[in-house]
Amino acid sequence: MNETERITYLDGLRGILAILVVIAHLSGSITGYSEERYLPNVNIAVDAFFVLSGFVLSRLYLVNSTYGFKKILISRFFRLFPLYILTTFLVFLIYKINNISGGYFPGNNVIEFKTLLVNISMFNYMGFDYIPVLNDPAWSVIVEFWISAFLMYFLIRLPFYGVLITSIIFYFIVFSVGHGFGAKNEEIIGITCGMLRGIAGISFGIALYQIRKKLENSTKYRFPDIIVTLSFIYFICFLTFKTNNYTDISVLFVFFVFFLSDNLNNIIIKILNHSYFQYLGKISFYIYLIHTPIILLISPYLFFKEINSQPVTILFFIIIIIIMGDIVNKYFEQPCNKLFKKN
């Protein structure tokens, strides 16, 4: 593994994960989150995002010696905050309009300015008081911001066994008290299970990076193609079953196999390295954050949103969301990145 080269298949993986989350949320909105919805165990995809962040960010920060605590904080702020704020305002505005027009909104608390202000501060997922996340998928962005901005600097400096034990402890707490990867809003000693999942996943990603770095010059550790392929298939299949118990832990082995794979000739890695999936990976963050406001804006006007029309509806939305993700990237995210680089 060349430290200066990007591990491109992980970008493709990120793109697939974002699309799977979108499919699950679209299906849930169509079916009312009944048993007929697709990918009921999609929560695990969010934990994969946490592991990805731990792996990729530790690689970035440890290679680049200029990344001190201050620069890490600033870089994560400009990476996550602008689009988070934009989509939060948009969802708040949609709920306000729906409240007036008789459309859908989940409750009076989401149209209070207190809720908006707490969402802007990103304190609403710290466990101090329950304030709903306006753009619901953004709860994981809040978690990642606080961890990557304030804990990452210290976590990447832990020895291997220290960061691995940290991951194990937090996963154990979540599974013991919070009932698996599905746990999000439950609180343990004033801290949400979502935050604990984030710490566990990012720590696990850091541990995987440290393992890969130690073994980078060895060919003995490489997993056979069949193991890598079956692990990926198992992960995708696992999303289709609602479990939320200790069997979910088996997915961590999939992460272990896939993140340590270095065989570019593997069929799954070739697929993830395809330009289409690389493109999805490039805009995955925008897809992830904009899909909820798009669903809220467009779904009331669809005539083909019956349960038996799920595939058509989902395909329609995915096309719209991908197009909008590209627009957001070009005309919002890139200007924000240029502003950050100037400063």
Q: pLDDT, tens digit, for every residue of 94-118?
A: 999 999 988 888 888 899 999 999 9
pTM for the whole structure: 0.92
**192, containing H or E segment:** strand 191-192
Which amino acid appears at position 31 of this protein? Answer: T
Burial readout 317-331 (b: 16 or more C-beta within 10 A, e: otherwise)? bbebbbebbeebbee
Length of the chain: 343
- pLDDT of residue 241 exceeding 70, the answer is yes
Which of 6-10, 207-211, 236-240, 264-268 is the most confident on average? Answer: 207-211
CB under 8 Å to 10, separation ≥6 — which residues? 52, 55, 56, 259, 272, 281
What percent of the chain clears pLDDT 70, i.e. is strictly above it? 89
Query: Do the Cβ atoms of 84 and 76 come closer than 8 Å?
Result: no
Tokens of 138: 């953004």
- pLDDT of residue 212 exceeding 90, the answer is no
Q: Which of 150-164, 194-208, 250-264 has the lowest mean pLDDT?
A: 250-264
Q: How far is it, in rounded angstroms, from Cα 308 to Cα 289?
A: 27
Q: Which of 16-30, 62-76, 202-216, 262-276 has the lowest mean pLDDT?
A: 62-76
Q: How far is it, in rounded angstroms, from Cα 165 to Cα 161?
A: 6
- pLDDT of residue 6 exceeding 80, the answer is no
* Confidence class for position 263, pLDDT limits 50, 70, 90: confident
Q: What 3-state class would DSSP assign to 123? A: coil
Distance of CA 19 to CAs 46, 115, 165, 180, 289, Å? 12, 28, 32, 22, 11
Please report the pLDDT score of residue 284 as a whole number. Answer: 96
Q: What 3-state class would DSSP assign to 187? A: strand
Q: Which of 232-246, 257-271, 316-330 has the lowest mean pLDDT?
A: 232-246
Instruction: Please give the mean pLDDT across all residues of the chain.
Output: 86
- pLDDT of residue 261 exceeding 90, the answer is no
